[in-house]
Structure 1
Amino acid sequence: MNTPNAEIVVDVAAIRHNVRRLREWVGPDVQMMTVVKGDGYGHGMLDAARAAVAAGADWLGVATYDEALTLRAHGYTGRLLCWLGVPGQDVVPLVDADVDVTAYSVAELDVIRAAAREAGVPARVQLKIDTGLSRGGATAADWPGLVAAAREAEVAGEVRVTGIWSHLVASDDPGHPANDLQEKAFLDALAIADAAGLQPEVRHLANSAAAVLRPSMRFDLVRCGIASYGLDPAPGVTPAELDLVPAMTARAHLAMVKRIEAGAGVSYGHLWVADAPTTLGLVPAGYADGVPRHGSNVLEIAVAGERHPLRGRVCMDQVVIDLGPESSARAGDLAVLFGPGSQGEPTATEWAEACGTINYEIVTRIGGRFARTVVDSAPEGQA
């Protein structure tokens, strides 16, 4: 098989390690949902799901209906929550597949009820309350109506309300006032649901950062996404002893190495001009593959454990790095765009900080023409 220009290497042992560490951190009384949406945050949904389940995840979480049905089609039979449908989508296959579906409104609940009648089995439904993100979920004004309709559907035998949940605005900033306000709003919503007679299996509010930093938000279950892949959910705040291990390494083989003289400009627009002779390395990955164009002139890439600055604009298919005047690098040498950082290479979080974004975006966007290689650095069950 031909050597790929560039590849993403995913270590499933790291995912298992992270899920286990998160379970230990939140304690035995809290269930763990590993979120595998967005193709497992770019790591591969099916491989990430298998690793999470092997590490003891109680639930998996996805956004879209297709993601949920793909997991079922590939043999996952455990608890599975899906939360983002649009009008006109067929909910019957989800009810048939025993997927927990989320209702944001009475209209959405009515669609789920109809699907349950068609399927001939009660639908597992979770209700989402908007506690301040102003995204998906019922507003505080609409919540009592949704709760009442859900209880009516339960009495009719059409649904089982299995969960009540919400999502946070600023959990990565522990001092942000929205955290206290959202926790109170969630408690108020739970009280309304309880008064209506709903008895959900799980109540959940915490994402990765809140699961780690705010015990009062853990309730019955935490939803851990980015932390499951070893990436810092709250840079500068996450305790080091959590010991997360990044699971993804993005790397490529240098396509060319060449000498340039002082005064030579590099890449489109000549954003960078050499002030002395140096050696350049051509890395065959660009913005079509998810390398951020905002990384022009600011990112670093490692060769042989030494970091080198990216020079000039990020192109569609390639970037150029400055290897220095005395470099002995050759075409074909491995260039590590980002990885765990254990061998001197940049991390996805460092790339994100350089580009003014978040590590989520770095790992979910990288791909394009990268090959994906899955490795297991430890025997199953030991990492």
Structure 2
Amino acid sequence: MTAVSSESAPSTTAPADRRISRRIAAIAESATLAVDAKAKALKAAGKPVIVFGAGEPDFPTPDFIVEAAIAAARVPAMHRYTPAGGLPALKEAIVAKTARDSGLSVTAANVLVTNGGKQAIYEAFATMLDPGDEVLVPAPYWTTYPEAIRLAGGVPVPVVADEQSGYLVSVGQLEAARTPRTKVLLFCSPSNPTGAVYPAEQVEEIGRWALDAGLWVLTDEIYEHLTYGGAVAPSMPVLVPELADRCVVVNGVAKTYAMTGWRVGWLIGPADVVKAATNLQSHATSNVANVSQAAAIAALSGDLAAVATMREAFDRRRKTIVAMLREIPGIACPEPQGAFYVYPSVKGLLGRPIAGRTAHSSAELAELILEEAEVAVVPGEAFGTPGYVRMSYALGDDDLAEGVGRLQRLLGSAE
């Protein structure tokens, strides 16, 4: 065997044992899915855990949508590859739905169909950002936002609002956080995790500020139909039409139609951005599953009767959970106007004995609650604001009352 000379030996400057890239190793696990998985594992082991974790409607997908999927599964053309950017019929349905629901006029060239809203968000940031570009992210924020920004090489810049402002950031806060490297504002109303809904005048004010600052806006409208008490969630590019050429709208069927598992989302934006994001998707996943796309066509083309039924139930549960949480000393719970989450402050419970234990952070408190009351909540650390917990009220009325009742019994004894 011929020996390898030192001159021809491979370089050893890079660690040979680095199994995971720095880029991927830096990604945090989805806290909401982690809590949901842990709670489900406990339930499978026979524990009577009540889960306020994942944001998932407890309703089944409406029958007419399921029937459309069954019919599509029998069509041989649906067994093949289709255009990476989405079925033309679904793009047209998204165009019509967008005009109907928000008043935004777009064409099929402005639409990319994605594997859920998460892929839409990631691909939008991957398309818009270069390394070092900053994105203003109002906090509390959904756990995926900063990770998608970092994966794209960007830098998330949290802009924090608390319960005193109803979790709404102001133009003054945004301007104070803006730097020469700021490229994008992320906007979400109704909000996950807080359920906050920006009034139209504030949406317009923020949109005009972004326009004047020369920023792009990514606006997440996934909860657009889930508002209560007269609140509405207008689309920013409708209120500020001049912004449309620098705005990407993300949406999907998951929340409105109880279709989280079908994995159909979309992004709407300028044609050049959509074309570039479509190129990315053509290499990442190709087309979204055709049967799911057929189901989405049925959902978007049908009426909103099922949505109204779900919204009525969510509204009832919203009132119940807020009232019950406000009875617990040490908890401050604003009333959300949208989505299906409450985001109470639990700062008044930290550092106080609870069931012989003391939690010094909301993460520790969430662990204590799970172990002592068998109730799963997501700590505020996951959303960029320690001292809070997120609770989804997208679960049955009886489970909701029982779960919050357990919290009342456990936390009411804190001294």
The TM-score normalised by the length of structure 1 is 0.27
**Greater helix share, structure number:** 2
**Greater strand share, structure number:** 1
- Higher RCO structure (Cα 8 Å, ≥6 apart): 2
The TM-score normalised by the length of structure 2 is 0.26
